[in-house]
């Protein structure tokens, strides 16, 4: 397909045609009989994996199989927050790699992902919260990640609508601030990676659900789908909430449980919040989209669920927290509410690497915070698939860590908010 | 919000309960002989079924007792509730 490069000139040219001449952005091919690599899951992570496989490793005989439509799962359901202020070295390096890719992603993909480095505040509500924040910010800075500690008075100056009263139920004592954090347009991330991968020769096959794995001599040989059997040299499973389902089909177990995670957007209002505010302690996080909607995220529902919806009490709690932090929003009406299925692990860290089945690789367990990692996750997983060994950034995130005991306890930085 | 049938108290709102995850996990008796992989399997690996699932709940703000239910993890419909020590209903796709 002859795909045009987006530029000010192509925009001007199409404007003269009343924007009726824009072509399709990726092909819609029939599956081939065999691929070198099959990626199961056409979300941001899967598409990014395919893109970096083709771009960085020259592996272009690749298919991305998506049971629905691309970006229709968690990629289109998250609250679009991007940050890299994780406590432990392993995760800090992984998320910071992702942050560096974000900073150049629109140029790299020639697709505007609307990455906006408006900063991210993580609030502290108790003295222990503030000590944890100091520790995390110090750890971040030692890892070369930007961060600062902001006290309540300074917070009030920067975010005038934030309630910093000493009399609120959970008073705001301060916050950590990552200036390079922010938000990105979630759909555009899927579309940009899809367009980029497609232009390098990757087949993106939608409405193609994997129902089984084909093995030959203890090695993977392909997958069974609703569009026939497709042969594969290697298979990468990147299916977030459905990871355990695919692992069951492949014949191995995961330490993953799938939970609903809910979010909401309000009616659009005038610009009032120019940054991202998160609070682990009261379970809420909020930003304002470019359209003017307030984007609010809740914590996960406690129970296992695949239903892409959760219980009302959870969003009620999140909105109560938001109202306490921002009394000015008390009369804003919520427009839409939805749930995504997140794959949580015991240590709140992802699993990226080989599986017990030869030729099958898994990238899962991103839990509540996978969106921010989209480019980095694809980058290291592509390396793992191409070289048959992990990149140094995802070495520590193997499935084996659950038997060696070398867990990476990121609950403090990742457990609830993201 | 789920309406959960406690075997002792009857149907109550989900907010009275706390969740305990997969039911019928048995702690191995010969833990000193287990390999690291077998121990990890007990400690961390979970069924995470899509469909009929046996799970534990505690009626934390009621009778404070633990019990098990069978719930579909897609429709969230609860099809059985039984006390700890009792066997799950048979023939509902939950055999090991």
Backbone φ and ψ for A224, nearest 5 degrees, come out as -95, 135
Average pLDDT of span A134-148: 96
Going by pLDDT thresholds of 50, 70 and 90, the confidence category of residue B96 is very low
Q: Check residue A222 and give its pLDDT.
A: 97
Q: Check residue A198 and give its pLDDT.
A: 97
CATH number for the domain harbouring residue B70: 3.30.2270.10
Domains held by chain B: number = 1
* Closest residue on chain A to B15 (Cα): A313
Cα A12 → chain centroid: 33
Q: Check residue A122 and give its pLDDT.
A: 96
A311 and B14 in contact by Cβ < 8 A? Answer: yes
Going by pLDDT thresholds of 50, 70 and 90, the confidence category of residue A3 is low
Q: Check residue A411 and give its pLDDT.
A: 81
Going by pLDDT thresholds of 50, 70 and 90, the confidence category of residue A284 is confident
A257, B48 Cβ separation under 8 angstroms: yes
Question: Does the structure show a pLDDT above 90 at B76?
Answer: yes
What does the alpha-carbon distance between residue A312 and residue B1 come to, in Å, rounded to a whole number? 6
CA distances from A31 to A5, A68, A158, A230 (A): 26, 15, 53, 7
Going by pLDDT thresholds of 50, 70 and 90, the confidence category of residue A418 is very low
Closest chain A C-alpha to B88 CA, distance in angstroms: 18
B86 to chain A, any CB pair closer than 8 A? The answer is no
Token readout for A277 is 């505010």
Domain assignment present for residue B16? The answer is no
Cβ density class A56-69: b for 16+ within 10 Å, e for less: eeebbbbbbbbbee
List, for residues A365-393, the tens digit of each pLDDT value: 999 999 999 999 999 999 999 999 999 99
B36 and A304 in contact by Cβ < 8 A? Answer: no
List the single residue in A257, A306, A402 with the smallest CB-CB distance to B40.
A402
B37, A403 Cβ separation under 8 angstroms: yes
What does the alpha-carbon distance between residue A317 and residue A49 come to, in Å, rounded to a whole number? 36
Residue A256, helix vs strand vs coil: coil
Q: Check residue A180 and give its pLDDT.
A: 98
Average pLDDT value over all residues in chain A: 95
- Beta-sheet pairing, B78-83 with B66-72: antiparallel
Percentage with pLDDT > 90 across chain A: 93
Average pLDDT of span A146-165: 97
Q: Check residue A385 and give its pLDDT.
A: 98
List, for residues B2-14, the tens digit of each pLDDT value: 999 999 999 999 9
Q: Check residue A169 and give its pLDDT.
A: 86
Backbone φ and ψ for A296, nearest 5 degrees, come out as -120, 135
A402, A346 Cβ separation under 8 angstroms: yes
Question: Does the structure show a pLDDT above 80 at A241?
Answer: yes
Query: Cβ neighbours of residue A24 under 8 Å, at least 6 residues apart?
Result: A1
* Closest residue on chain A to B37 (Cα): A403
Residues from chain B contacting residue A305 (CB–CB below 8 Å): 73-74, 76
Domain assignment present for residue B78? The answer is yes
Closest chain B C-alpha to A373 CA, distance in angstroms: 24
More reliable by pLDDT, A313 or B91: A313
B87 to chain A, any CB pair closer than 8 A? The answer is no
Question: Does the structure show a pLDDT above 80 at A416?
Answer: no
Question: Does the structure show a pLDDT above 60 at A76?
Answer: yes
Average pLDDT of span B35-60: 96
* Closest residue on chain A to B46 (Cα): A255
List the single residue in A245, A256, A313 with the smallest CB-CB distance to B15.
A313
Alpha helices in A207-292 (DSSP H): 243-250
Q: Which of A263-272, A379-388, A402-411 has the lowest mean pLDDT?
A: A402-411
Beta strand residue intervals within A289-413, DSSP E: 294-300, 334-344, 351-354, 360-364
List the single residue in B18, B45, B74 with the smallest CB-CB distance to A253.
B45
B80 to chain A, any CB pair closer than 8 A? The answer is no
Domain assignment present for residue B66? The answer is yes
Nearest to B13 by CA among B5, B24, B21, B22: B5
Kindly tell me the burial class for residue A313, based on how many C-beta atoms sit within 10 Å of its own C-beta (0-12, 13-18, 19 or more).
Answer: middle
A292, A330 Cβ separation under 8 angstroms: no
List the single residue in B22, B50, B75 with the smallest CB-CB distance to A245.
B50
Q: Check residue A1 and give its pLDDT.
A: 44
Residues from chain A contacting residue B49 (CB–CB below 8 Å): 244, 304
Residues from chain B contacting residue A209 (CB–CB below 8 Å): none
B73 and A305 in contact by Cβ < 8 A? Answer: yes
Token readout for A402 is 């659950």
Q: Check residue B91 and give its pLDDT.
A: 57
Block residue for tokens 């469909």: B51
Average pLDDT of span A149-159: 97
Residue B22, helix vs strand vs coil: strand
* Closest residue on chain B to A401 (Cα): B40
Q: Measured on CA atoms in the order A131, A137, A139, A141, is the torsion positive or negative?
A: negative
Going by pLDDT thresholds of 50, 70 and 90, the confidence category of residue A2 is very low
Pairs of residues, one from chain A and one from chain B, whose beta carbons lie less than 8 Å apart: 66
Residues from chain B contacting residue A401 (CB–CB below 8 Å): none
List the single residue in B41, B46, B74 with the smallest CB-CB distance to A257.
B46
Domain assignment present for residue B70? The answer is yes
A306 and B46 in contact by Cβ < 8 A? Answer: no
Q: Check residue A413 and give its pLDDT.
A: 65
List, for residues A220-240, the tens digit of each pLDDT value: 999 999 999 999 999 999 999
Question: Does the structure show a pLDDT above 80 at A59?
Answer: yes
Percentage with pLDDT > 70 across chain A: 98
* Closest residue on chain A to B72 (Cα): A305
Neighbours of A28 (CB within 10 A): 11
Q: Which of A239, A244, A303, A401 to mutate to test the interface with B (most CBs of B within 10 A)?
A: A303
What does the alpha-carbon distance between residue A37 and residue A53 come to, in Å, rounded to a whole number? 9
Average pLDDT of span A207-227: 96
Residue B68 belongs to domain spanning: 43-87
What does the alpha-carbon distance between residue A283 and residue A300 come to, in Å, rounded to a whole number? 9
How large is the ipTM? 0.93
List, for residues A270-283, the tens digit of each pLDDT value: 999 999 999 988 88
Long-range contacts of A390-393 (CB under 8 A, 24+ apart): A390/A352, A390/A353, A393/A93, A393/A94, A393/A97
Domain assignment present for residue B62? The answer is yes
B2 and A258 in contact by Cβ < 8 A? Answer: no
B48 and A254 in contact by Cβ < 8 A? Answer: yes
* Closest residue on chain B to A404 (Cα): B36
């Amino acid at each position: 397909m002859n795909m045009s490069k987006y530029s000010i000139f192509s925009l001007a040219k199409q404007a003269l045609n009343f924007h009726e001449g824009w072509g399709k952005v990726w092909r819609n091919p029939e599956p081939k009989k065999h691929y070198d690599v099959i990626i199961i899951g056409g979300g941001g992570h899967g598409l990014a994996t395919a893109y970096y496989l083709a771009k960085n490793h020259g592996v272009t005989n690749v298919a991305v199989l998506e049971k629905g439509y691309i970006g229709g799962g968690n990629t289109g359901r998250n609250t679009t927050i991007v940050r890299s202020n994780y406590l432990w070295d392993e995760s800090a390096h992984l998320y910071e790699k992702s942050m560096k890719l974000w900073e150049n992603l629109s140029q790299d993909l020639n697709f505007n992902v609307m990455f906006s480095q408006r900063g991210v505040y993580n609030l502290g509500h108790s003295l222990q919260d503030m000590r944890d924040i100091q520790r995390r910010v110090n750890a971040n800075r030692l890892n070369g990640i930007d961060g600062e500690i902001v006290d309540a008075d300074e917070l009030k100056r920067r975010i005038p609508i934030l309630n910093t009263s000493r009399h609120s139920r959970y008073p705001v004592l301060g916050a950590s601030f990552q200036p390079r954090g922010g938000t990105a347009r979630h759909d555009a991330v899927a579309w940009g990676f899809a367009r980029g991968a497609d232009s390098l020769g990757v087949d993106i096959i939608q409405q193609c659900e994997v129902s089984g794995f084909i093995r030959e001599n203890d090695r993977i040989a392909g997958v069974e789908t609703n569009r026939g059997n497709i042969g594969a040299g290697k298979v990468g499973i990147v299916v977030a909430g459905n990871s355990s389902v695919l692992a069951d089909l492949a014949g191995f177990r995961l330490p993953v449980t799938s939970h609903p995670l809910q979010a909401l957007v309000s009616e659009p209002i005038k610009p009032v919040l120019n940054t991202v505010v998160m609070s682990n302690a009261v379970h809420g996080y909020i930003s304002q989209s470019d359209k003017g909607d307030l984007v609010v995220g809740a914590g996960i529902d406690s129970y296992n669920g695949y239903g892409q919806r959760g219980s009302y009490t959870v969003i009620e709690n999140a909105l109560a927290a938001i109202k306490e932090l921002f009394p000015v929003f008390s009369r804003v009406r919520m427009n839409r509410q939805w749930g995504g299925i997140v794959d949580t692990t015991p240590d709140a860290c992802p699993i990226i690497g080989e599986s017990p089945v030869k030729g099958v690789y898994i990238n899962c367990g991103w839990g509540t915070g996978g969106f921010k990692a989209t480019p980095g996750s694809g980058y290291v997983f592509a390396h793992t698939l191409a070289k048959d060994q992990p990149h140094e950034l995802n070495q520590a995130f193997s499935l084996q860590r659950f038997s060696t005991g070398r867990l990476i306890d990121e609950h403090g930085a990742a457990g609830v908010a993201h | 919000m789920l309406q959960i049938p406690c075997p002792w108290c009857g149907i109550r709102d989900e907010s009275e309960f706390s969740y305990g995850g997969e039911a019928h996990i048995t702690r191995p008796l010969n833990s000193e002989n287990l390999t690291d992989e077998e121990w990890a399997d007990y400690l961390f690996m979970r069924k995470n079924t899509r469909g009929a699932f046996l799970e534990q709940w505690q009626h934390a703000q009621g009778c404070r007792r633990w019990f098990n239910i069978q719930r579909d993890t897609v429709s969230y419909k609860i099809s059985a509730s039984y006390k700890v020590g009792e066997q799950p209903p048979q023939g509902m796709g939950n055999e090991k």
